[in-house]
Amino acid sequence: IGQNQKLALSVVEGTYGAANVNISSARNEVESFQVVVAAPKENINVVKVEVSDLIGPDGSKIGKGNIRLFREEYVRVRMSTSRAELPPGLYPDPLVPFINPITGEPIEPLTRTRKRWGEPVTTSGG
């Protein structure tokens, strides 16, 4: 799904996008992407996410080592303001580290929906 899309925790059925991620950006610009994995009837215990090098139409490359992965968690909003467009509930809050920065171990709570957020760490011109 697109980088600005948010899926509610209850939205787990259907296909959201394609098997490949296609992103475009200008020089020195960062673009992100999301990958959603859902198991509507059971918990997901382990999800392995692999990334490949990003190759531009001119052959320029961003190596896979320059792509960071984040996991998405949900934040409970108990009270909305009077101008809020959405009611209280659980809302996605991306960019939580996928790997514990202290232990280097994956952090994987049991939930039925898994999302991964990726962005290039460094980019070269082009």
Q: For residue range 14-40, list pLDDT tens digits in order.
A: 555 566 777 777 778 888 877 777 666
Among all chains, which residue has been given the structure tokens 């082009």? 126
Q: Please give the average per-residue pLDDT across 44-57, as a whole number.
A: 76
Nearest to 40 by CA among 1, 81, 9, 66: 9
Per-residue model confidence (pLDDT) at position 15 = 56
Q: Give percent of the chain with pLDDT exceeding 90.
A: 0
**Triad 34, 36, 40: Cα angle to 5°:** 160
Closest by Cα among 66, 85, 93 to 7: 93
Q: Are 67 and 55 in contact (CB under 8 A)?
A: no
Is a pLDDT exceeding 80 seen at residue 122?
Answer: no
**Which one-letter DSSP state was computed for residue 106?**
B
pLDDT tens track for 82-95: 888 778 888 877 67
Q: How far apart are CA 122 and CA 30, in angstroms?
A: 9
- CA dist 39 → 43, 59, 104 (Å): 7, 36, 26
| Mean pLDDT, the chain, integer | 73
